[in-house]
Amino acid sequence: MIKKVLGIGNALVDLLINIDSDTFLKDFNLPKGSMTLIDREKMEAILQRIASSGMEMQRASGGSAANTIHGLSQLGGIAGYIGKTGKDDYGSFFCSYMEQNNICATLFNGKVDTGKSIIMVSPDSERTFATYLGAAVELNASDLTQPNFMGYDYFHLEGYLVQNYELVEKALELANNAGCGIAIDLASYNIVRENIEFLHRIVKKYVDIVFANEEEARVFSGKNDAESALDFIASLCSTAIVKIGKDGSLIREKDKKYRIEPIKAIPKDTTGAGDLYASGFFYGLTSGQSLDICGKIGSIVSAKIIEVVGAKMGPDRWDEVKRLIGAIV
């Protein structure tokens, strides 16, 4: 039987635009390649500029864990999601998007409007995020109850939530009580740095699987190279995964180590690459594959997502992904 995965994270609607030049970023004081939290006023100013300039904008459900769960569902996995949205059109869109993709979503209603992540893709394919968290940040420990976690085999925690210690601890306790294997994606090196002691504690106490990119792994471990960082993370949990970009990924479970070679790709936009790697890894894990095959599936999905703009792929590309996966399992 295929195992089930539950994700929790900031429920955001991604608004994706291609900008003609980086002047757009400078006008709003957005450091290129960064993720900047913005308030509602700045969000509206950016959206007004987009509308007045006639730039085309794509809309999709977003947030790191939501991207991972969506990708897993596209591969045929069974997935659920917990988040909080506003009582507005964006919240309705997010809910409908989940339903249309066979994701069992528990979406609480916040007091403010739905969070949005404006993703600006520069001509060189570098992406810059301006994120208004909105209702997503109102998700709190009191929202969560044991039934939310029952019936799932794995629980996937979005690292962007770790600044809310009470919420994270409650979620991890409930997932642990439900018998879930627990995974966390470290999400961002600056969040790791700001919450390092808390992260070390919860990983050691609760977490089975850690996903990190090379920079996040170095900050988390205090080590200077990916191999040493992998070893440190693996000393705190069952399975450590360090993604090393164009060089592939590293996986360690106890004394077993795997180096996963990258899949050749022609990158257009790296949005969602790490999130979709986790989708592929979970798909392999929940269908009983070995860790090296899980990593190879993750590499396939992440390679294909960077060849399109945004963190979502169309049916034809998903068919290609499944064909490539079928060749190795």
Where does 4-11+62-114+136-326 sit in CATH, by number? 3.40.1190.20
**314 has a pLDDT exceeding 80:** yes
Residue 213 identity = N
Per-residue pLDDT of 242-301, as tens digits, reads: 999 889 999 999 999 999 999 999 888 777 899 999 999 999 999 999 999 999 999 999
CA dist 83 and 66 (Å) reads 9
Residue 135: closest CA among 163, 118, 116, 149: 116
Domain ranges of the chain: 4-11+62-114+136-326
Average pLDDT over residues 124-138: 90
pTM of the complete model: 0.93
Q: Report DSSP state, residue 262.
A: P
* DSSP H helical ranges for the chain: 23-27, 40-53, 64-74, 89-100, 165-177, 189-194, 196-205, 214-221, 226-234, 273-286, 291-305, 315-326
pLDDT at 266: 86
